[in-house]
Chains A and B, each alone.
Chain A
Amino acid sequence: DIVMTQSPDSLAVSLGERATINCKSSQSLLKSFNNRNYLAWYQQKPGQPPKLLTYWASTRESGVPDRFSGSGSGTDFTLTISSLQADDVAVYYCQQYYSTPPYTFGQGTKLE
């Protein structure tokens, strides 16, 4: 199984500052035939279901503010929030969908 490891486990950032969350996979998530990384990012606020932020590592889902950006390739990925808003306080998860299941998530990063 592919293991997803996020860092840090929690992060405190001031409003207006940049937040960076890292995600590392135990094997490459890049498929050469289409040059795509099979990684998604989610945001989960308390008492709510997760919300998709990005897929293909860097493609923002419709309606997601452009202050959220995903980057990286292979085994190392980053979610960046360029200017933190109060509404961004949440837990963030990465998830790989590289191959047949299991589809695994990182352990989550709590952003405060």
Chain B
Amino acid sequence: EVLLVESGGGLVKPGGSLRLSCAASGFTFSSYTMNWVRQAPGKGLEWVSSISGSSSYIYYADSIKGRFTISRDNAKNSFFLQMNSLRVEDTAVYYCARGYCDRTTCYNWFHPWGQGTKVTVSS
């Protein structure tokens, strides 16, 4: 069974930092693009960042560029989101989600998703 489990969320003051983790199991982790998607309270879904299997390709949403850093450790089947200079508007549930890759190409629809970790930025 493919499983994704997030951790690392919590309450932080504006300007603070948090590091989210996503532990993966049930598939060949290094072969897949991994993603972070967030959902502010009562709002819709917002893609945040993606990292390819070899970390060769990394992308960020404009809203977090320069403040967040995505990384992965294929030996530990985990990937991360380092969030610095946090703002009130970063308050959200952060989901990790896997992309889809066949033998030659990766496509970024998201399946499966983790249960999410809540990040609250407030003074």
Contact = CB atoms under 8 A, between A and B. Distances in A.
A107 interface: yes
B44 A50 contact: no
Interface stretch (A11-19, A80-88, A94-102): A94-102
A55 B107 CA distance: 10
B30 to A, nearest CB: 21
Nearest to A51: B113
A49 B61 contact: no
A40 interface: yes
Contacts, number: 58
Contact of B45 (A51, A61, A93): A93
Interface in B78-112: 95, 100, 107-112
Interface string A41-64: 010100011111001000001000
B21 interface: no
B69 interface: no
Please report whether the interface of chain A is mostly helix, strand, loop or mixed according to DSSP.
loop
Interface in A58-112: 61, 93, 95, 97, 100-108
Contact of B47 (A42, A49, A104): A104
A52 B44 contact: no
A105 B110 CA distance: 11
Interface of B: 35, 44-47, 50, 59-62, 95, 100, 107-116
Cβ-closest 8 pairs across A and B: A49-B113, A52-B111, A40-B109, A101-B59, A97-B108, A103-B47, A105-B45, A55-B109
Interface of A: 38, 40, 42, 44, 48-52, 55, 61, 93, 95, 97, 100-108
30 contacts: A42-B45, A44-B45, A49-B95, A49-B113, A49-B115, A49-B116, A50-B45, A50-B110, A50-B113, A51-B113, A52-B109, A52-B112, A55-B100, A55-B107, A61-B111, A93-B44, A93-B45, A95-B45, A97-B108, A100-B59, A101-B47, A101-B60, A101-B61, A101-B108, A102-B47, A102-B59, A103-B35, A103-B50, A103-B108, A108-B45
